[in-house]
Structure formats: C-alpha cells, structure tokens
Amino acid sequence: MAVIFLSALAVGFSGAMMPGPLLTYTIKQALNTGPQAGVIIAAGHALLELVLIALIFLGFDLILQSPIAQTVIGIIGGALLIHLGVKMIVNAWKDRVKLLLDQDSATRRNLFFSGAAISAANPYFLLWWAVIGLGFLLEAYKSFGILGIAAFYAGHIGADFLWYGLISGVVGKTRRFIKENLYRSIIVVLGSLLVFFGGNFLYKALL
C-alpha cells in the first residue's frame, strides 16, 4: 500500500502545482485571511474528492464523461469563475477590499465550502476523476480493496494539503509587509486570472 500512497502523492502534486482557479483563489485568500487559508480550502477540496470517489463507484463516472455533462459543467463552472473574477476586480477598483489580519469562524466556513465550489466549477477536475482517477482507483481496489482506495485517497489529498498549505503559509506570512495599493493590484491580477480560466472553460464547452 505504500506504493499506492506514494504514487497518489506524486500524481496529486502534479495536479496541485499546476496554475488554476483553486491555486489563484488560495493565494487571494491567503493574502486576505492569513496562512491557514490553504489548509481550510484544501479540506473543502478533499471533501468534494471523497464524494466524487463514492459517486464513481456508483457508476456516475459514465455521466461525467458524457459530452452533455461536460458542456453543462463547463458553462456553469466558467460562468461562476468569471463572476468571482469580475467581482474581485470591481471590488479592488472601487477600493472595497482590505487586508484582514484576523480571521473569524464565519470566514473559515466560507473558505471550506469555497474550496469545494471552486473545484466543482472546474470541468477538468471532474473529468480527471471520471477518467484518469477511475483507473487509479480500480488498480488500488484490485490490489487491496477498500484499504487500497483509502491509501490512494490519503496520498492524493496529502499532496493538496502540503502544496496549498505551503503556498498560503508563504503568502500569508508576508502579507503584513504588503501595502494596500499593492494588495489591490494583486487582487486585480488574480481576478483577471479567474476570468481567463472561466472564459477558457466557456469557450471549450461551447465549441
């Protein structure tokens, strides 16, 4: 099972380290709420992956692979990311964003559910699990049954917690040295990236 765990960890890092909506959101929230943001966001992401694994074993992978499902996911996900990105840009432009050096429980809950929502908005994330993830899961199940699945899941989410935790830790620790004007500029850039990702999802979904 150690091989399954380490393989899942390596595959997980290959996905987590790629620039995307979740990484962009993690950087934004690390600036806003501190170094713990990445771990909380990763927890929401991990919960969604656990649900997906359960759905895959119930046969829902066939639905996720269908062209209609991919189109719908792409349209909804793209629209959500564009909305989030535009909102970030507008709020920064109108000076509605501030560096928050303290975090409350409500913000923690928002980060957790946002981690799942941002992931679900990414059609490539869902398709990866329906196609590539399914292959890994079947191999793990054939070798060790449920324990194999647990080992793969632990390795996979371990990569997410390590990477997003590291990124938010570095960004969150340095945010006290960032001036408000620079912070707003960073938010505009991150919002623009979300708009780009969302537009890309929409474009490919409507092709």
Q: What is the pLDDT of residues 175-203, one digit of tens each?
A: 877 777 888 888 899 999 999 998 988 89
Q: What is the pLDDT of residue 66?
A: 81
| Coil, strand or helix at 157 | helix
Q: What is the pLDDT of residue 34?
A: 85
Long-range contacts of 58-66 (CB under 8 A, 24+ apart): 60/130, 61/129, 61/130, 61/131, 61/134, 64/126, 64/127, 64/129, 64/130, 65/127, 65/130, 65/131
Share of the chain above pLDDT 90, in %: 36
The more confidently predicted of residues 105 and 145 is 145
CA distance 53 to 47: 10
Per-residue pLDDT at 104 exceeds 60:
no
| Coil, strand or helix at 196 | helix
Per-residue pLDDT at 146 exceeds 70:
yes
**What is the value of pTM for the model shown?**
0.85
